[in-house]
Amino acid sequence: MTVERARAVSDNVRSWLGAQVLLRVAGPGGPTTHREIFHAEGERWFAGDRPIRRVHADAATFIGGLRALLLQSLHPLVMAGVAQHSRYRDDPWARLQQTSFFLAVTTFGPAEQAERAVARVRGVHRRVHGIAADGRTYAASDPDLLRWVHVAEVDSFLAAYQRYGLGGRLDKRERDAYVADTGIIASRLGVIDPPRSEFELREQLDRFRPELAGTPEAREAARYLLLHAPLPLAARVPYSAVAAAAVGLMPAWTRWPLRLPYLPAAEATVGRLAGHGVVAGIHWATSRPERASR
């Protein structure tokens, strides 16, 4: 096989894999949405050199996003809202696509688009309320529940980037700046006094510990996300690597409530290698091939 032929085959594989990733994450309208977010004119909430752009542009967000879902499920009232109002079992990709769109438009899109996205999410939150299995009432617009969802998500994206990110680890100043950046979005969503530094993030996470528990709904969601997500055969192996890496980033105290395996030696070796490999693979598939100058 000639070099040019091998390069053409490689480009075709990359294009196919990239299209499959984009289809799952952004839906059929992914290319159009990408252009509308990244190439539209207008001021952005965050300048190009802000840490939030560096973290959210990295393929490690795939691992961070799954870890966030697992961690968020440990709040019984948040999980009750997901179980009663979400169609995650019937159409899990719809939720992923909505989340990825919101993340992209608020981080990279024009301010006007970002404001509209926030308004839509707040509108959805006003309609999500009910009674949990333990008899407590909940509402997605509750600032305390919004805070838990936010801090679990930020902690997860930061943890995934620090371990698997391809853009280099953030130093303390950059980590504080990332948390502060995400706090701007959280405030607009209705979170009161979100964390503005890594120390405040850890403090607020610890404050939630007494409220967290592994409910049957949370364990069922974890099993579904990790073992039974509807995927084509070709995607099952890389998804298993994403799932293993996400579990490996979960704090030790979360393992038993969600019935997650805890194998420190394997997670530190095979698990990390698989995580680095899948992040590099996603980055390769979703980036444009570079051509050597002639």
Instruction: Read off the pLDDT of residues 155-207 as tens digits, 9 standing for 90 and up.
Output: 999 999 999 998 889 999 999 999 999 999 999 999 999 999 999 999 999 99
User: Is 293 within the bounds of a domain?
Assistant: no
Domain span at residue 201? Answer: 3-286
Q: CA-to-CA distance for 80 and 292, rounded, in angstroms? A: 53
Residue 23 belongs to some domain of the structure: yes
Range in 52-61, 83-92, 191-200 the model is least confident about: 83-92
CA distance 23 to 29: 8
Which residues, other chains included, contact 285 with Cβ-Cβ below 8 Å and sequence gap of 6+? Answer: 14, 17, 18, 20, 21
Mean of the per-residue pLDDT values of the chain: 84
User: Tokens representing 120?
Assistant: 């839509």
Q: Residue 251, SS3?
A: coil
C-alpha distances out from residue 25 to 14, 50, 77, 254, 283, Å: 16, 23, 26, 27, 14
Least confident of 43-52, 121-130, 223-232: 223-232
Question: Any idea what DSSP says for residue 290?
Answer: P
| Domain assignment of residue 128, yes or no | yes
User: Band of the pLDDT at 16, cuts 50, 70, 90?
Assistant: very low
- Distance from the Cα of residue 243 to its chain's centroid: 12
Pair of tokens at residue 180: 């502060």
Number of domains in the chain: 1
Q: Residue 291 domain-assigned?
A: no
The H or E element containing residue 130 is strand 129-131
List the one residue out of 205, 164, 216 whose CA is nearest residue 58. 164
Q: Looking at the predicted structure, is the pLDDT value of residue 97 above 90?
A: no
Q: Are the C-beta atoms of residues 73 and 218 closer than 8 Å to each other?
A: yes
SS3 213: coil
Question: Is 292 inside a domain boundary?
Answer: no
Asked whether residue 61 carries a pLDDT value surpassing 80, the answer given is yes
**Kind of pairing, strands 137-139 and 129-131?**
antiparallel
In a domain, 46, yes or no: yes
What is the dihedral angle through the alpha carbons of 198, 202, 208, 210, rounded to the nearest 10 degrees? 180
Please check the confidence at residue 119 and state whether its pLDDT lies above 60. Answer: yes
Residue 186 tokens read as: 């959280």
